[in-house]
Chain A
Amino acid sequence: MPRIVGVDIPAQKKIGIALTSVYGIGYTTARRILAEVGISTDVRAKDLTDDDVSRIANTIEKNHVVEGQLRRQVQQNLARLREIACYRGLRHRRGLPVRGQKTRANARTRKGPRKTVAGKKSVKGQH
């Protein structure tokens, strides 16, 4: 099992897909990287030569922010928004949708599991 950029160990999959298990590399980025180093996306990850692997790793390190560094960057961006008390920051603080979505219904991804309120009328009659 080849290792690419630190901890990531893609498996039996085609390299084009295997690369997407790296945080920060999706389908498109994976394709772009492979095109750059001239490796077919259809080779299984296990069939890569050591040279291929190191070439892939090199391009990633050179041109992409991935894994821990990317996670940190995202966290820093969030922390900055929180810090300056702008609208987006406030929404992040409260765990509500940030981009103007409605919160009367849905928004469960941000709000988490429903907290049922006793005695509240059923959803259909609610207005």
Chain B
Amino acid sequence: MGRSLKKGPFVDAKVMKHLKRRKEQGSKEPITTWARASTVVPDMVGYTFMVHNGRIFHKVYVTEELVGHKLGEFAPTRTYRGHSQKK
């Protein structure tokens, strides 16, 4: 089930605040965030985010294609190294 259109996309307020500041300063410094549930909006294109995965921050460079996805989709939370190869 999709989100109600009336509400518009969920974008973390703090992320937007930092984004705005970066834009004013013309800075491209990565924005560190825990807001995995935040939607990627067109304004974010060209900026880098450090998205928390519970342990570390994954660097996510936002391109046009990522718009509409959530930040968390690009920072996997699970480690799976494959099953052990016996012998």
Contacts and interface: CB of A to CB of B under 8 A. Distances in A.
Interface in A43-101: 80, 83-88, 90
B9 interface: no
A86 B33 CA distance: 17
A90 B76 contact: yes
A117 interface: yes
Nearest to B60: A85
A49 B79 CA distance: 61
B23 interface: no
A interface, over-half SS = loop
Contacts of A87: 72-74, 76
Interface string B70-87: 001110100000010010
Interface stretch (B14-22, B41-49, B61-69): B61-69
Nearest to A87: B73
Nearest to A96: B80
Contacts of A118: 86
A118 B73 CA distance: 35
A84 B63 CA distance: 9
A119 B86 contact: yes
Contact of B65 (A80, A88, A90): A80
A84 B86 contact: no
Interface of A: 80, 83-88, 90, 117-119
13 contacts: A80-B65, A83-B65, A84-B65, A84-B66, A84-B69, A85-B74, A86-B69, A86-B74, A87-B72, A87-B74, A117-B83, A118-B86, A119-B86
Interface of B: 63, 65-66, 69, 72-74, 76, 83, 86
